Amino acid sequence: MALPRRTLLQLIAGAAAGVSTPVAHTLAANNDAATIGWPNDVASWDPNQRFTPDAQPIFKAVFDQPLDQDPQLKLVPHLIRSWGLAPDALSMAVELRDDVTFHNGDKMTTADFRYTFFERVKSGAKLDIANSMRKVQDIVVESPTKAIMKFDSPAPTMPQWMTFLGSYVVPKNYIERNGFDNFLQKPIGTGPYKLAEYELNSRIVLERYDNYWGPKPKIGRVTIQIIKDPSARVAAIQSGQVDCTINVPVREVQRFAQDNAFAAEITPITRVILLNVRADLAFADKNVRLAAHHAIDKMALSKAFYGGAAVPLSVLATPGTPGYIPDFTFKYDPALAKQLLAQSGFGPDKPVKIGLAATNGQFPSDYDIARAIVGMWKPLGIDAELQVIEYAKYFELNRGGKLPEATLYSWDNATGDPEIFSGYQLNPKMPFSPWKDEDIGNRVLALFTVADYNKRIAGYQDLERYAVENGATMPLLQSVVTVVRKRNLGYQKYGNGWLLPQTLQWT
Amino acid sequence: MIVTVATLIARRLLAAIPILLIVSALLFCVLRALPVDPAAMSLPPNATIAEIEAKRSEMGLDRPLPEQYAIWLRGALHGDFGQSIQFRRDAGSLVASTLPVTIQLALAAMVIAAVLGFGGGLLLFSLRDTLFEPVVDVISIVLLSIPEFLWALILLFVFGVVLRVLPFTGEVAPGLPLPRVTGFLLIDSLLVGRIDIFASACLHLILPAVALGLAFSPTIMRVLRSSLFDVYHEDYIAQARLRGLTERQILIGHAFKNAVLPTLTLAGVQFGILFSGTLLVEVICSYPGMGNLMVDAVRNADLPLIQAIGLTYCIVVLLINTTVDSLYVVLNPKLRIR
């Protein structure tokens, strides 16, 4: 069969275009497109289902949250135009915008709001927002834009929860009309981008939603390329296959910072690296707990593993957030640590034996930090056996009381509110901390119902100080996020580390 | 010959049934012995003990292990491999969506391994008793000692970062769509008439396929050479020389045809290993295949997904072995007579 010359030429031209695409992509930035190298895929396109901090910026591109946060993490109106929390915090009136549409053109109303935060939760669907919305007794719809959230107990932090992981409004009619499986295949939200294409573990293609109610994204098409291996992400940005990437090793950020073609940043965020501790076993002795904390040189850890950018912490809150106590320092004092251990009959010759669990690769340098801590403890008389655990098993081990005395842990709180820092970390009824103690537990539970904002914040500051002074927790460092991008690709920095596709722009 | 091959395939498929049952039972028991609770992991962290117990009962985890296995097996026979804990989707559909990607990669790698292996083996043998022999020998040993993931990193650095001639993230360039008809992108791009996607997919396939191929070619190379040494001691080689054939004619026309049979068996075994070798290469090259999915599954202790992927690997290896054995029958007349 003879191939017509014209067809042959078209085929060759097509092939040449295909071949040249990746190379061309590295050389010339298309002003209306950008590619981001991202470390993890979304687990599911149901945004209410899982609390996955890494997926938050992706969800925020496709879906909208009722309230939002500005770059300094202050609460700002979003889908909710205005809100009013009752003085007893048992109800919250909300007024939604009336100009919001889903990507299929359907108008977003309070029916969608009620469906998301009440009907879905009560339907028995296993959603992580069942946790954040557990106090919601009902949502009374007054009009398409007005509703009242009713709580079964005071919920003073409900506005903060409206910006937290999993709190995204999903389309009631679309889901009921097409079925949930269809929604998962073709998810729609009210966000600034439509999901144009999704390939599991490969890429997410976002296209600007032209009828978006808010500021339109500057870049029309954003491709999120899933690159799980940190070295591959470094190679991808270096070679120009992506325009921007996150969570690259700190030493690589320092190298990129020397290169004029790139901008590279290490930014502290609202994530705390801490040692979660037990109140029993060898840590039943308060002296041992305090000694273990005093023996850790946090600045040395920051310099060694985060280029000095991670701020040493003395409380379970990050600088700039309401619960932070700037004038409180839990000092690094090896001599005092030695003295405390001696009071309990321990020392270098008769070390106290404990276990230290850590993940390996869950957050930057986790295992290395744990090894360094073991090294800091050893000469003082704390002999720690290091064990690696999978993050996925953490809750299971904690539930079964199988965690050792201390576990290196990373706790993310995009809202910055102290309830989600110390309130959750020290609450013995919650699955996060292995510290199960009535004294601290009662203090925490009392704070959950305080409706007055200032009183609540002051209460949390007292709790944080008390918990650290009693060795109930050992905050170590404020975690960092690393970003490497082409120098002419700008983005809006957020205090919680979000890199939102809708804020990207070529300059 | 067709009857012999058909009989062999039928016999192999029958034998595969108990093998699959044993492997699936072993896999099931080993995964259940791990210190993780699939019920607890499939619920949010704040789930109560009662909720976990209810879930455990719903998943059949409170029943004796043989009964649990029977439930799983019944589901698997109906195509239901359970729900993935991480993705909260049917594990079977997740595997089905990624399997063609891995098969395509493994086949491309096998072609590269075969070309390099057979070519290199012939070259190694041709250079015997020359000054180059020890040099080429050392090179083949060095190649043998580099695992596939290291090849992936080396190639990625050289061709992706330094020379910038090859892409190494994903299946096609970001601007191009991904047509899905059969799941095999190379075929699908041609089916939809998009030669540009086909070309881009080929480019994206090069790095991971070469990394895998390079890691597996030295074994083929060395086995072919040693088979050629054996064959060259046969009488028919001496007779060929007496008939006045050139060394090239003897090597290609007589020795290679006979030496290739044991190498083919090895290549079949290698393909099974190569298939599982896609795991790390897919992660490094961000290739969205089953290996990449397996890494996710292991990281999240996603037992239903690990079980489904493990069983799929087993089926693929069994199919490969059957294919290689059939080929062996086709190529070796002695086996047909027997």
pLDDT band (50, 70, 90) for residue A11: very low
Q: How many CB atoms lie within 10 A of CB A218?
A: 16
Asked whether A473 and A283 are in contact (CB, 8 A), the reply is no
Question: Residue B316 is encoded by which pair of tokens?
Answer: 């693929």
pLDDT band (50, 70, 90) for residue A195: very high
Residue A494, pLDDT score: 94
The dihedral sign for the CA sequence A234, A235, A237, A241 = negative
Whether B20 shows a pLDDT value over 60: the answer reads yes
Nearest to B97 among A46, A200, A205 (CB): A200
Under 8 Å CB pairs connecting chains A and B tally to 170
- For residue B98, the chain A residue with the least C-alpha distance is A200
- Calpha distance A297→A312 (Å, rounded): 9
Chain B interface includes A396 (CB < 8 A): yes
- For residue B170, the chain A residue with the least C-alpha distance is A202
Residue with tokens 């925020």: A60
- For residue A40, the chain B residue with the least C-alpha distance is B296
Asked whether B312 and B324 are in contact (CB, 8 A), the reply is no
Written as one letter, the residue type at B166 is L
Residue A8, pLDDT score: 45
Question: Residue B304 is encoded by which pair of tokens?
Answer: 């239903």
> What is the residue-averaged pLDDT of chain A?
91
Give the pLDDT mean for A66-81: 95
User: Which residues have C-beta within 8 Å of that of residue A41, sequence separation ≥ 6?
Assistant: A200, A201, A204, A226, B296
Nearest to B46 among A25, A131, A231 (CB): A131
Strand A91-96 relative to strand A136-141, pairing:
unpaired
Residue A187, pLDDT score: 97
316-335 in chain A: CB under 8 A from chain B = none
| pLDDT tens profile B37-92 | 777 777 766 666 777 788 788 777 888 888 889 988 988 888 888 888 888 789 99
- Please tell me whether the overall predicted TM-score, pTM, comes out greater than 0.90 for this model: no
Question: Residue A157 is encoded by which pair of tokens?
Answer: 């932090």
- For residue B177, the chain A residue with the least C-alpha distance is A197
- Cβ-Cβ contacts under 8 Å, A207 against chain B: none
| pLDDT tens profile A294-350 | 999 999 999 999 889 899 999 999 999 999 999 999 999 999 999 999 999 999 999
> Could you tell me if residue B88 is left (phi over 0), alpha (psi between -120 and 50 degrees) or otherwise beta?
left
pLDDT band (50, 70, 90) for residue A30: low
112-131 in chain A: CB under 8 A from chain B = 126-128, 130-131
Burial string for A94-123 (b: 16+ CB within 10 Å, else e) reads bbbbeebbbbeebebbbbbbbbbbbebbee
What is the SS3 string spanning B196-220?
HHHHHHHHHHHHHHHHHHHHHHHHH
Strand A91-96 relative to strand A146-151, pairing:
antiparallel
- For residue B202, the chain A residue with the least C-alpha distance is A19
Whether A13 shows a pLDDT value over 50: the answer reads no
Asked whether A217 and A91 are in contact (CB, 8 A), the reply is no
Residue B51, pLDDT score: 76
Residue with tokens 């700190």: A250
- Report the greatest alpha carbon distance in chain A: 94
Q: How far is A211 from chain B (nearest CA, A)?
A: 23
Asked whether A226 and B286 are in contact (CB, 8 A), the reply is yes
Is A202–B198 a contact, with Cβ atoms under 8 angstroms apart? no
Is B161–A238 a contact, with Cβ atoms under 8 angstroms apart? yes
Q: How far is B43 from chain A (nearest CA, A)?
A: 7
pLDDT band (50, 70, 90) for residue B11: confident
Lay out the sheet containing A146-151: strands in order across. Answer: A80-85, A91-96, A146-151, A136-141
Chain B interface includes A9 (CB < 8 A): no
Nearest to A395 among B45, B196, B295 (CB): B45
Is A232–B169 a contact, with Cβ atoms under 8 angstroms apart? yes
Q: How far is B161 from chain A (nearest CA, A)?
A: 5
Question: Residue A181 is encoded by which pair of tokens?
Answer: 């499986």
Strand A352-358 relative to strand A406-412, pairing:
parallel
Chain A interface includes B90 (CB < 8 A): no
Give the pLDDT mean for B148-157: 93
Chain A interface includes B64 (CB < 8 A): no
Q: Give chain B's length.
A: 338
Whether A169 shows a pLDDT value over 90: the answer reads yes
- Cβ-Cβ contacts under 8 Å, B299 against chain A: 390, 392
DSSP labels, B137-158: HHHHHHHHHS-HHHHHHHHIII
User: Which residues have C-beta within 8 Å of that of residue A461, sequence separation ≥ 6?
Assistant: A315, A323, A325, A418
Instruction: Kindly tell me the number of DSSP H helices and DSSP E strands found in chain B.
Output: 15, 0
pLDDT band (50, 70, 90) for residue B14: confident
